[in-house]
Amino acid sequence: MICLRYILERIQAWKVMVIFLKVKIKDIAKMADVSIATVSRVVNNSKPVNEEVRKRVLEAMKQMNYRPNVIGSDAGRSDTPLIGVIIPQNSNTVLDDFNIGIRDLAELYGYDVLVGLTDGSVNSELHYLNLFHHMGTEGYIYVGSVPSKEHLEIIQKSGSPCVLVGEQSQIDSIPSVHLDNVTASYEAVTYLIQKGHRSIGMIRVSGDNAVGGDRYRGYQQALMDAGISLREEWVVESGMAVEDGSDAMRRIKDSGELPTAVFCSTDWMAVGAMNFLIDNGIRVPEDVAVFGFDNSFIASVVRPKLSSVEYSGTEIGMTATRTLIKLIKGETGIQHHANVAHYLAIRESTG
């Protein structure tokens, strides 16, 4: 995984505002070495403040990316229109590329970007939706699962449009952008079949979302169309980390017989699977071929280099931002779901 420091450096270079936790007035007061009352006066422009002190408070606000969150007032609004992005904090290069695409298009059209890095929980996502609503964002890009009833209530209350990234939206008012995970997985498994493999396992993400459900459905369909029976003991649900993939590969081995190929829902899982195989004297790809998904940077630096499904996260981010800006401007006839192109990046792990 890319370390958090690297992500922060990239974001700082983009001039994108990132919100981890809500900065409070007391934090500004401490940095500026003034009282909370003084910060309040500067924020609300309610009473005269010494100019030197005012500059100190404003500089502290700038350094901490503080924007006042005052319900019912314009104090939280920016002269530059804002787009709010809600995205999981456990970033990898694919999500990093999403942000690059969002930044590039937003900057082109004169928008600032607020990024809320969540812990993946509903409460965390709702927190940022509420926060962005009070800060006057003109629209949201939501990276994650399909919005729940609670998400929709906040979005509808705000009156601002929203675009979903990472899933195909089933909500008429919310368009979505991603890739066709079913077809991409189908093509990857079909490639393995064409290479002569008839016993193919899968290390899959649990759940019925795009990464978990859709990629598994593509695997299932490819086997079915080739007349190959799916062996349940060769399909293991796993977390997405390298160590999860390693543990999942161990469970497949412990089933009593190894498949000759394994398709994985993500590159990180695939790297874990390869690590386990190699550590146990099983050759990749001679004994077991391994295919990943996302074409993360790790795919080309591990040995053997990992075959993977490739697509452009930057294009997804740009397409989502373009769609959102059209919605903000009131344009009609917008495509409800857009898929970006995908490719098979064939490397050493499949022979």
Cα angle value 152/158/164 (rounded, 5°): 45
- Residue 188 pLDDT > 90, yes or no? yes
Identify the weakest region by mean pLDDT among 7-16, 133-142, 299-308. 7-16
**Mean predicted lDDT score pLDDT of the chain:** 85
Q: Strands of the chain (E only): list them.
A: 17-19, 82-88, 112-118, 139-143, 162-165, 176-179, 200-205, 235-238, 261-264, 289-293, 307-311, 337-340, 342-345
What is the pLDDT, as a whole number, of residue 5? 45
- Torsions phi, psi for 40 (to 5 deg): -60, -40
- Residue 70 pLDDT > 50, yes or no? no
Provide mean pLDDT across the span 160-176.
93
Residue 202, helix vs strand vs coil: strand
pLDDT above 90: percentage of residues in the chain? 52
- Residue 114 pLDDT > 70, yes or no? yes
In contact, 136 and 113? CB cutoff 8 Å = no
pLDDT above 70: percentage of residues in the chain? 85
- Residue 6 pLDDT > 50, yes or no? no
What is the pLDDT, as a whole number, of residue 282? 98
* Token pair listed for 183: 């077809």
- Residue 190 pLDDT > 80, yes or no? yes
The pLDDT tens digits for 332-345 are 899 999 999 999 99
**Which one, of 145, 174, 172, 169, lies nearest residue 158 by Cα?**
174
What is the pLDDT, as a whole number, of residue 73? 38
More confident site: 97 or 10: 97
